[in-house]
């Protein structure tokens, strides 16, 4: 136990930074999961793939339903290229936030 107390004594004033490190690590993990998890449901909406894995799970919450409805409206008025552009921007933003 003396070894651990000696190691923790070196932390001193850096305990606050250690807490911030854990918070940022959790946020990075969340954004990593979001950036990977966004691919399948949104691409299935764009290319109208029926029965794609994860296609129904995005509508299971309010945010997913909102994004899917807005994406469908955007694609109806501007075409699939506009929808793909929005999805690419969202994925890039999630990836940037993950690596921030």
Nearest Cα neighbor of 36 from 88, 95, 84 is 95
Collapse the DSSP code of 48 into the 3-class scheme (helix H, G, I; strand E, B; otherwise coil) and give the result.
coil
Whether the model pTM is above 0.85? no
Q: How confident is the model at residue 77 (pLDDT cuts 50, 70, 90)?
A: very high
Burial track 74-97 (b if 16+ CB lie within 10 A, e otherwise): ebeeeeeeebbebbeebbeebbee
CB 81 within 8 A of CB 47: no
CB 58 within 8 A of CB 41: yes
Check residues 45 and 31 and name the one with the higher pLDDT. 31
Check pLDDT > 70 for residue 58.
Answer: no
């Amino acid at each position: 136990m003396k070894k651990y107390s000696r190691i923790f004594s070196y932390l001193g004033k850096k305990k606050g930074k250690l807490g911030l490190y854990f918070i940022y690590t959790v946020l990075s993990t969340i954004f990593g999961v979001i950036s990977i998890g966004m691919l399948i449901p949104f691409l299935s909406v764009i290319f109208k793939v029926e029965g794609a894995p994860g296609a129904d799970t995005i509508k299971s919450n309010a945010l997913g339903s909102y994004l899917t409805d807005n994406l469908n409206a955007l694609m109806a008025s501007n075409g699939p290229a506009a929808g793909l552009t929005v999805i690419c921007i969202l994925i890039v933003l999630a990836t940037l936030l993950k690596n921030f």
